[in-house]
Amino acid sequence: MEIYESLRTNDMPFLRSAIRESRYQGHTAGLALGFLQANLVILPETYALDFMRFCQRNPKPCPLVGVSETGNPFMTTLGHDLDIRCDIPSYFVYRDGAVVQEIDNIKDLWRDDFVSFALGCSFTFENALTQAGIPIWHLVHNKTVPMYRSSIKTREAGPFGGEMVVTLRAVDADQVDEVVSISKRFPMAHGGPVHIGDPSDIGINDIRQPDWGDSPPPLEGKTAMFWACGVTPQNAIMRAKLPISISHAPGNMLITDIDDQAEVPVLAF
């Protein structure tokens, strides 16, 4: 908790060095306010075009904000020295669709045929909600947002498909319209919610048992709101059973140099 609070009040160079040097390996919600945060997927070039199609067909969970050159670990459109291999607090490594390792850098795993994809993250609109005076439970309590596999189907592309992953934020009933309005302003950060109300309507039978992240508090007196989540590609990776792929660990994002209000260029590979 102490280092997290320190990172919230320090500048971007301090934060990036803490992550790059493995001095911080926690979630990035509430950090680097004003800068775009992104989900990350890395996979062999053989699968890159199909994955790009998957993102284009599913823009709510997979808003594409950056694509690297093949084999280049520096995503130059999102930062002047952004090193994909070590600038995320924690990575998941997948082999044949299963998570086999969680590590703090992937320098020893990097390959010349890897392509990296950066996808917009809901932490961007959370900053806007906080500025509007709407409290976000997991930020207040230094937790990771709860994430669930829903029954909402994605549109398939090649080996990629499966269910949409969603995130939960519970708000007071009189704040729902304002939360919808604010989040809709950020289409590159998943935009407005995909569902409001009964979790069972989208296949979530036990709200206290998320598939990723921390359990939410009881929802009495609150309205459950669900957004498309950038962990959806991880669900698609597991379903595709690629020989190797890499992602951020849920909640541990890539922090870019981009203003989170800016138009984001995409570098084709």
Convert the pLDDT of each residue in 38-69 to its tens digit.
999 999 999 999 999 999 999 999 999 999 99
How does pLDDT run across 114-147, given as a tens digit for each residue?
A: 999 999 888 778 888 888 899 888 878 888 889 9
User: What pLDDT score does 261 carry?
Assistant: 67
CATH topology for 123-232? Answer: PSTPO5379-like fold (3.30.2040)
Residue 188: pLDDT band with limits 50, 70, 90: confident
Domain 2-122+238-259 identical in fold to domain 123-232: no
User: What pLDDT score does 264 carry?
Assistant: 53
The whole-model pTM stands at 0.87
Mean pLDDT, all residues of the chain: 90
Question: Is 164:61 a contact under the CB 8 Å cutoff?
Answer: yes
How does pLDDT run across 147-158, given as a tens digit for each residue?
A: 999 999 999 999
User: What pLDDT score does 237 carry?
Assistant: 93
User: What pLDDT score does 269 carry?
Assistant: 38
Percentage above 90 pLDDT, the chain: 61
User: What pLDDT score does 161 carry?
Assistant: 97
- pLDDT(1) > 60: no
Percentage above 70 pLDDT, the chain: 96
- pLDDT(7) > 90: no
User: What pLDDT score does 267 carry?
Assistant: 47
Domain positions in the chain: 2-122+238-259, 123-232
Top mean pLDDT of 28-32, 45-49, 189-193, 215-219 is at 45-49
CATH topology for 2-122+238-259? Answer: PSTPO5379-like (3.40.1640)
User: What pLDDT score does 268 carry?
Assistant: 40
Which of 49, 100, 108 is closest to 247 using CA atoms?
100
User: What pLDDT score does 262 carry?
Assistant: 62
How does pLDDT run across 237-267, given as a tens digit for each residue?
A: 999 999 999 999 988 989 898 877 665 555 4
Work out the average pLDDT over 101-124. Answer: 94
